[in-house]
């Protein structure tokens, strides 16, 4: 696939897309943004929210990390990073993909010390943080990866999400289940390559 350009910042959600691009063996260009350039008129024309990542494919722009990695998985079917459309696991992929959005809301609320009362738990999609977190840990504890027992694009997204909240935001500590999951993910060669690229982009962005 040609005409792929990733707009990203070092140590951001864009690093997960770098990882995905490396897993796909894609040919792509990168544009390293800084805290200043991400709010420039040029980039706001690409993503008016001033957020990364954004992926340009030809004349089209895709934003939102979950959307980008799923799109790439579908564009590189030979890499088997998303279950086939006729496979029942495809539904599980979408289930956990969309639940990740609920979980991020839950974790952000916990980070802000927001606790839902009974009426709020009934109204919000995730209910309460503890239940949502326990559900993810139980799922990962019973499966090697998020979909069945094989690596998929979904693991890139969950790996980044869970790592952020355990190691950087420190909203909750990593437990043995998550630590074992991270170990399975971060020994992958494509992840290591993405980290090397991200470090180089950090130098570019600082110039």
Mean pLDDT computed over 173-192: 95
Does the domain at 4-80+190-206 match CATH 2.40.50.90? Answer given as no
Tokens 């969950």, residue located: 158
What does the mean pLDDT of the chain come to?
93
* CB atoms near residue 104 (< 10 Å): 16
More confident position, 97 or 123: 97
CA dist 198 → 47, 102, 192 (Å):
21, 28, 10
Residue 53 confidence (pLDDT): 97
**What is the C-alpha to C-alpha distance for residues 203 and 207, in angstroms, rounded to an integer?**
7
Higher local confidence (pLDDT), 203 or 27: 27
pTM of the model: 0.93
pLDDT of 148 higher than 90: no
pLDDT number for residue 1: 61
Write down the domain spans for the chain.
4-80+190-206, 89-150+152-187
User: Average pLDDT for residues 41-45, to the nearest whole number?
Assistant: 96
Q: What is the mean pLDDT of residues 52-62?
A: 96
Residue 2 predicted with pLDDT over 80: no
Per-residue pLDDT band for 202 (boundaries 50, 70, 90) equals confident
DSSP annotation string for 50-82: --S-EEEETTEEEESHHHHHHHHHHH-GGG--S
- Rounded CA-CA distance 123/99 in Å is 16
- State what percent of residues in the chain have pLDDT above 90: 78
> Which are the contacts of 85, defined by CB distance < 8 A and separation ≥ 6?
none
Say what the pLDDT of residue 135 is.
95
Span 8-32, pLDDT tens digits: 999 899 999 999 999 999 999 999 9
Q: 138: pLDDT confidence band, cut at 50, 70 and 90?
A: very high
Reported as a single tens digit per residue, the pLDDT across 149-158 is 899 999 999 9
- What is the model's pLDDT at position 35? 87
pLDDT of the residue at 121: 84
């Amino acid at each position: 696939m040609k005409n792929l350009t990733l707009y990203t910042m070092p140590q951001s959600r864009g690093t997960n897309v770098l990882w995905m691009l490396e897993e796909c063996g894609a040919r792509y260009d990168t544009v390293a943004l800084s805290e200043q350039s991400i709010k420039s008129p040029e980039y706001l024309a690409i993503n008016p929210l001033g957020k990364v990542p954004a992926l340009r494919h030809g004349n089209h722009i895709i934003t939102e990390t979950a959307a980008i990695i799923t799109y790439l998985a579908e564009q590189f079917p030979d890499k088997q990073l998303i279950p086939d459309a006729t496979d029942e696991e495809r539904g599980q992929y979408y289930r956990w993909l969309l639940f990740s959005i609920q979980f991020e809301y839950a974790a952000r609320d916990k980070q802000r010390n927001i606790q839902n009362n009974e009426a709020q738990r009934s109204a919000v999609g995730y209910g309460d943080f503890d239940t949502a977190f326990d559900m993810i840990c139980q799922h990962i504890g019973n499966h090697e990866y998020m979909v069945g027992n094989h690596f998929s694009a979904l693991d890139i997204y969950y790996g980044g999400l869970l790592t952020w909240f355990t190691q950087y935001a420190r909203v909750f500590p990593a437990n043995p289940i998550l630590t074992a999951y991270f170990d399975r993910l971060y020994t992958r060669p494509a992840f290591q390559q993405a980290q090397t690229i991200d470090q180089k982009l950090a130098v570019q962005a600082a110039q």
